[in-house]
Amino acid sequence: MMQEALSDRINEVLEERSSKGLERSIPNPHSSEDYVNLADNDYLGLARHPQVIDAAVNAFKIFGSSASASPLVSGYKSAHQSLLDKVLNWHRFDYGMIWNSGYAANQAILSQLAGAGDLILADRLIHNSMISGSMRSGARLVRYRHCDLDHLEALLVANAKNDRIIFVVTESVFSMDGDFPDLKRLAALKSKFGFFWIVDEAHALGWYGSSGCGLAEEFGVAAEVDILVGTLGKALGSMGAYTLFHDDRLKRFLANFAGEFIYSTYLAPSSAAAAEAAISCIQKDDSLRSKGREIARRFRGELSTMGLEVTDIDSPIVSVIFGDAARTMEIAESLRRDGFLVGGIRPPTVPQGSSRLRISLKANLDSETIDRFLASLKKAIDLS
């Protein structure tokens, strides 16, 4: 009877999602040779860079294919320490940790550091990993309007006299919209109100900053950020994540209490070596990010000419909102038939009525490819 009840419940949910065009499915494998991939997050094309591949292969030969243990047992290898040293030097932070994924890092820091009686003020569009960590923490979570720092300040004023710890949480470049808040003003608010500030730089790494390490560097506010989160699986062409701190006690605390770090087989050493090599590529060649940002400006200009509403910024993430989920997926499928992969994003990843194409630009796109994509997009829109 229990199995039948569960089966009925699952069928009901799946039928409802299918009828609304919201059901997700595991896609067929995609070959990079068959498509122009504007859906993944390899913004600088480093996942296939010879130097990055060579570093991973050499690490395979030295360490094998797995760390084979959790980091506190024997999984922490010299490749992980070498990457951490590289990251700390790059960002100019004193302490840090390497994690298996950005999801694990965000969930761990919020669930472990915030607690009952605390207040988490988070941008309305923060990543699911931050929401999950916040909900597990026992703290009160309040989300301010997206990138609306007047709203955030009003919430800070309203709670300033309360005897509680306040956390402010934001992404730098937002994963579904590609926009970003005024980090300088956020730093000024921190100076005024004294909150604990967490910034996720996942989609800004490699693209922004004088040395490529993100928007905190570009805005000159890294010294004010209490925890900076970075991922290795986007512009760094690998997988995994890191968290950076100015206070060693944060690292010590998380190493003792974060289950995501303690109880899982550690990141493969080859992934750490690949990420370290990717950082070296970014440091040696700033033309990658300058070219990428130029492409982003041109691309958005072309979309505006087509009558599509896009934000006037130069991030690698371009969000084109169509609203209706079924129409969005029709357009994405039409583009796929023409040889282009883009993200068709629907609720609950984004709010109801805001289904969209999420286009991930690449610094190595050429003008001919961009022109072909724009022509295909126009055709797909006209037919939808």
Instruction: Please give the positions annotated as active site.
Output: 41, 127, 171, 175, 200, 203, 234
CA dist 25 and 70 (Å) reads 32
CA dist 276 and 281 (Å) reads 9
Token pair belonging to 375: 């022509």
Amino acid 364 reads N
User: Where does the chain have alpha helices with state H?
Assistant: 2-19, 50-63, 78-91, 102-113, 128-137, 149-159, 183-193, 215-219, 248-257, 259-262, 269-284, 287-305, 325-337, 367-383
Side-chain-side CA neighbours of residue 216 (13 Å): 27
Residues 6+ apart with CB under 8 A from 168: 121, 122, 152, 186, 189, 190, 195, 196, 197, 198
Q: Contact at 8 Å (CB) between 179 and 311?
A: yes
How many residues would you count in the chain? 384
Amino acid 210 reads S
Phi, psi dihedrals of residue 38, rounded to the nearest 5°: -110, 30
CA dist 148 and 125 (Å) reads 11
Pairing of the two strands 241-245 and 227-231: antiparallel
CA dist 306 and 309 (Å) reads 9
CA dist 174 and 178 (Å) reads 5
Residue 227: enclosing H or E segment and its boundaries?
strand 227-231
